[in-house]
Structures are given as structure tokens and as C-alpha cells.
């Protein structure tokens, strides 16, 4: 049998050699101490046993640890990638491979959720708290993360009542009658009778008030039209704020964020082509390459039918009056 304690031999191992040497030293010490005083033998053996234990421990490699994979954390990393970069679809594919079956079982679409999150949606509200434990293939659902308050609670002041100043109040008797579209309220108290008259609010008045509020936030295309049911509605489909936000995320104008920050909030490809059109994209056959070229050059404009823009309700076949 080969002598593996010889370092010149093929396959010799320094840590194994030390363990074998310490084991031989313990054995030799036991043989040499045979017949001696027990307490003396114990004292001499303790150090030898400790050396042997240390040698065996050094031979055991440190086991690697793999952290559990949390789906909400994986989605959060999408904010670090530009939607046009190769890392973005790679991260989507990675999430799908890990959590795709579990999300499908819940009726949730990963790509749709990613678009909503990039549009500003809350990860905690949109996604279940799924986690893939180390070495497992099936994710488990954890309770929703509990948020802790960042501000100390305000001490509630308990109201005090001065019993010496408590008085009794005679209950009021209220009689309500409706005559010819007006409401008359008669309130009788110990001090006498009070009569008030209020005008009745009609559905037509409420509809006019709602329309007025809608027109306040739709100023780019003024005017109204009546639908098939005779209801008067604004011609401008979207609010001014939504139109401006879409233009910023399409790179048609710059918002408060700097250009680098704005690139991270670009619209998904489907949203680009739903609201806008680009000569670069159309001439390139609307491929992935032509889309990226249009995004890079900022060549996007609102869709129009030659007369009306996309956010005008008269766009294409809808000719409102």
C-alpha cells in the first residue's frame, strides 16, 4: 500500500498528512503511557485529541450557502435596467423560469405586471410575496411584508368633562316636507320654530357639474360632443396630465428627471405603438431593430388620421358633433 504521508508521492495531501500524523502521535502516546497514572495520562492525551480534532475540521470544506430567491426583489431589479437593454428581457426570462408556473396558476402575467411596475405601480400591491427556497423548485408564498411606522405615535389627549358645567339640551324635533320641487325643513326647539327652504338638485345639474370638472383638466382640445344616449362629454379623451406624462415617457419632451433617469421610465414597446407612430419604425418594417432606432432618435409623434390626433374622440371613424 502506498505511503501517502510522503509529500513526494502523487496524490499526497498536506491536510490529510497532518491528520494521519496527529492520529499516529495519539496512538504512540497511548502506548507509551500504558500502566501510568490515570490523571497524568488524561492530561497528556487532551492536547493530542485537540490537535486531531482540529486536523479533521480543517479537512472539511466550507459548504456554500445560496440565499432564497424572492420574486418581489427580482421584479424590483427591473428598475435598474433600460427597457431597450438586453438585461431587461434577460431578467424577465429569469423571473419566468423561476416563478412562471406559480404565477400562471394564480392567473397573473409576468410581462404585463412588469409593464405596470415600470409605469409606477406598487410591487407590494401588484405581486404576491413568492419565495424560492434554496434547492427547491416550487415557490412558497409568504405573508405580505409588514411596514413599520417611521414616526413615533402621537399621544392622544383624553378629553375631560367639567361636571359642574353640564347642562341638558332639549332634543330638536325636525319635520321635513317637499312641495313643488323644493324642500322645506321646519325645526322646532325650546326657543321657537325655524323654517329653511333648500332648492332641489336635479340629475341635469349634477351632469353639468361633472362635465365642468372634466373640462377643467382637458384644455388641449376644447369642446364637447353628445354620445348616442345624448350625454354631453369632452372631446379630449385623456386629461392634460396624462398626455404630458405619456409624451415624457415616449421621449417627446423632458420632465423633471434628467435624461438618464427618464430613459429608465420609457414606455413598453406595445404602449409606444398604441399611442404614437414613427416614420423610422414604419419604414423599417416595425421590427425590434426599427423600434429601437426610433426610440434612440426620438422620432415619435401622436397617431393621427390626417385630421385628428389619437387622444381626440373624433380620431378615425368617430366623427363627433
pLDDT, position 179: 45
User: What does the pLDDT look like over 101-159, one tens digit per residue?
Assistant: 888 888 888 888 888 888 878 888 888 888 888 777 788 888 765 566 666 777 777 77
Mean pLDDT for 162-178 is 56
Beta-carbon contacts of 76 under 8 Å, excluding residues fewer than 6 positions away, are 123
Q: Which of the four pLDDT bands, split at 50, 70 and 90, describes residue 169?
A: low
Instruction: Find, among 204, 203, 197, the residue nearest to 178 by Cα.
Output: 197
pLDDT, position 205: 84
CA dist 103 to 70, 120, 250, Å?
A: 13, 21, 30
Buried b (16+ CB within 10 A) or exposed e, 56-68: eeeeeeeeeeeee
pLDDT at residue 321 above 50? no
User: What does the pLDDT look like over 196-246, one tens digit per residue?
Assistant: 545 567 888 888 888 899 999 999 998 898 877 788 889 998 999 999 988
Angle at 17 between CA 57 and CA 42, to 5 degrees: 60
Between residues 182 and 171, which one has the greater pLDDT?
Answer: 171
pLDDT at residue 4 above 80? no
Q: Which of the four pLDDT bands, split at 50, 70 and 90, describes residue 180?
A: very low
pLDDT, position 163: 63
CA-CA-CA-CA torsion sign (63, 68, 73, 75): positive
pLDDT at residue 35 above 60? yes
Q: Most distant CA pair in the chain: distance in Å?
A: 123
Query: pTM of this prediction?
Result: 0.38
CA-CA-CA-CA torsion sign (112, 118, 121, 122): positive
Helix (H) or strand (E) holding 196: strand 192-199
pLDDT, position 277: 93
Average pLDDT, rounded, for the chain: 78
User: What does the pLDDT look like over 92-106, one tens digit per residue?
Assistant: 888 888 888 888 888
pLDDT at residue 255 above 60? no
Q: Kindly list the strands in the beta sheet with 130-132, ordered across the sheet, starting from the edge strand earlier in the chain.
A: 69-70, 130-132, 140-141
pLDDT, position 145: 57
For 312, which DSSP code? Answer: B
- Taking the C-alpha atoms of residue 153 and residue 107, their distance in angstroms, rounded to an integer, is 40
pLDDT at residue 278 above 60? yes
pLDDT, position 98: 86
Q: Among 115-119, 160-164, 292-296, name the most confident range.
A: 292-296
Angle at 41 between CA 36 and CA 43, to 5 degrees: 150
User: What does the pLDDT look like over 10-26, one tens digit per residue?
Assistant: 667 788 888 888 888 88
Helix runs in the chain, H state only: 14-32, 38-59, 71-76, 87-105, 110-118, 123-126, 203-216, 240-249, 259-263, 269-275, 279-283, 288-297
- Taking the C-alpha atoms of residue 195 and residue 185, their distance in angstroms, rounded to an integer, is 6
pLDDT at residue 307 above 50? yes
- Taking the C-alpha atoms of residue 71 and residue 129, their distance in angstroms, rounded to an integer, is 7
Confirm if 93 and 157 have CB atoms less than 8 A apart: no
Amino acid at each position: 500500500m502506498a505511503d501517502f504521508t510522503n509529500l513526494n508521492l502523487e496524490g499526497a495531501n498536506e491536510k490529510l498528512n497532518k491528520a494521519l500524523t496527529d492520529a499516529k502521535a495519539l496512538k504512540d502516546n497511548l502506548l507509551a503511557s500504558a500502566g501510568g497514572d490515570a490523571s497524568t495520562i488524561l492530561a497528556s492525551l487532551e492536547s493530542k485529541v485537540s490537535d486531531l480534532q482540529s486536523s479533521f475540521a480543517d479537512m472539511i470544506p466550507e459548504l456554500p450557502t445560496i440565499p432564497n430567491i424572492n420574486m418581489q426583489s427580482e421584479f424590483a431589479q427591473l428598475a435598474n435596467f433600460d427597457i431597450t437593454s438586453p438585461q431587461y428581457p434577460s431578467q424577465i426570462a429569469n423571473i419566468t423560469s423561476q416563478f412562471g408556473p406559480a404565477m400562471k396558476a394564480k392567473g397573473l402575467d409576468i410581462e404585463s405586471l412588469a409593464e405596470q411596475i415600470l409605469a409606477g405601480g406598487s410591487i407590494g400591491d401588484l405581486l404576491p410575496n413568492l419565495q424560492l427556497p434554496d434547492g427547491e423548485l416550487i415557490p412558497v408564498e409568504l405573508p405580505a411584508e409588514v411596514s413599520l411606522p417611521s414616526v413615533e405615535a402621537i399621544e392622544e389627549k383624553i378629553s375631560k368633562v367639567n361636571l359642574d358645567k353640564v347642562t341638558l339640551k332639549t332634543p330638536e324635533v325636525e319635520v321635513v316636507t317637499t312641495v313643488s320641487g323644493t324642500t322645506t325643513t321646519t325645526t322646532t326647539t325650546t326657543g321657537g320654530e325655524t323654517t329653511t327652504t333648500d332648492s332641489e338638485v336635479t340629475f341635469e345639474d349634477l351632469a353639468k357639474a361633472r362635465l365642468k370638472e372634466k373640462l377643467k383638466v382637458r384644455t388641449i382640445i376644447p369642446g364637447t360632443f353628445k354620445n348616442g344616449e345624448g350625454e354631453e362629454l369632452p372631446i379630449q379623451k385623456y386629461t392634460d396630465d396624462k398626455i404630458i406624462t405619456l409624451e415624457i415617457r415616449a421621449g417627446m419632451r423632458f420632465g423633471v428627471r434628467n435624461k438618464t433617469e427618464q430613459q429608465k421610465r420609457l414606455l413598453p414597446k406595445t404602449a409606444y405603438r398604441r399611442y404614437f407612430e414613427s416614420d423610422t419604425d414604419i419604414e423599417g418594417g416595425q421590427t425590434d431593430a426599427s423600434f429601437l432606432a426610433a426610440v434612440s432618435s426620438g422620432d415619435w409623434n401622436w397617431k393621427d388620421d390626417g385630421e385628428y390626433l389619437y387622444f381626440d374622440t373624433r380620431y378615425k371613424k368617430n366623427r363627433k358633433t
